[in-house]
Amino acid sequence: MLEKALRALAEKDYKAFAACFSEDGKYFDYCPACNGKDNYFVYGSAAIEMFYRNRFTFDHVTVSEPVVEDEKTASFFGAYEGPYLFARFEIEEFDTAGLIKKAVVHPA
């Protein structure tokens, strides 16, 4: 699931990214604050889809060179309306169907 989520982020495919999350999934991203922006706290797969549709359509976030480290952890270079930074994507919880229930991204 982690590889699918990272591929969707890198390809700016908001539908595929949201499909990686359970209906009540949570996505927290603490990287935008590094560029003076508000961090992302998004609840629910429908909200994740809408949120990332906006982020990708208006080029507010770019993910490059994702590397999967294990089944729950990966790293990538991310640009959040500013210079690239090194980030870590961690899945903290899966649901019974194997979808992401909680994911957290933070500066590495």
Average predicted confidence (pLDDT) for the chain: 97
Q: Are 99 and 20 in contact (CB under 8 A)?
A: yes
Q: Place 102 in a pLDDT band, splitting at 50, 70 and 90.
A: very high
Query: Residue 44 sits in which domain range?
Result: 2-107
pLDDT value at residue 60 = 95
Q: Are 20 and 6 in contact (CB under 8 A)?
A: no
Number of structural domains in the chain: 1
Over residues 59-68, mean pLDDT: 96
CATH number of the domain within which 103 lies: 3.10.450.50
pLDDT value at residue 97 = 97
CA R_g for the chain: 12
* Cβ density class 14-41: b for 16+ within 10 Å, e for less: bebbbbbbbeebbbbbebbebeeeeebe
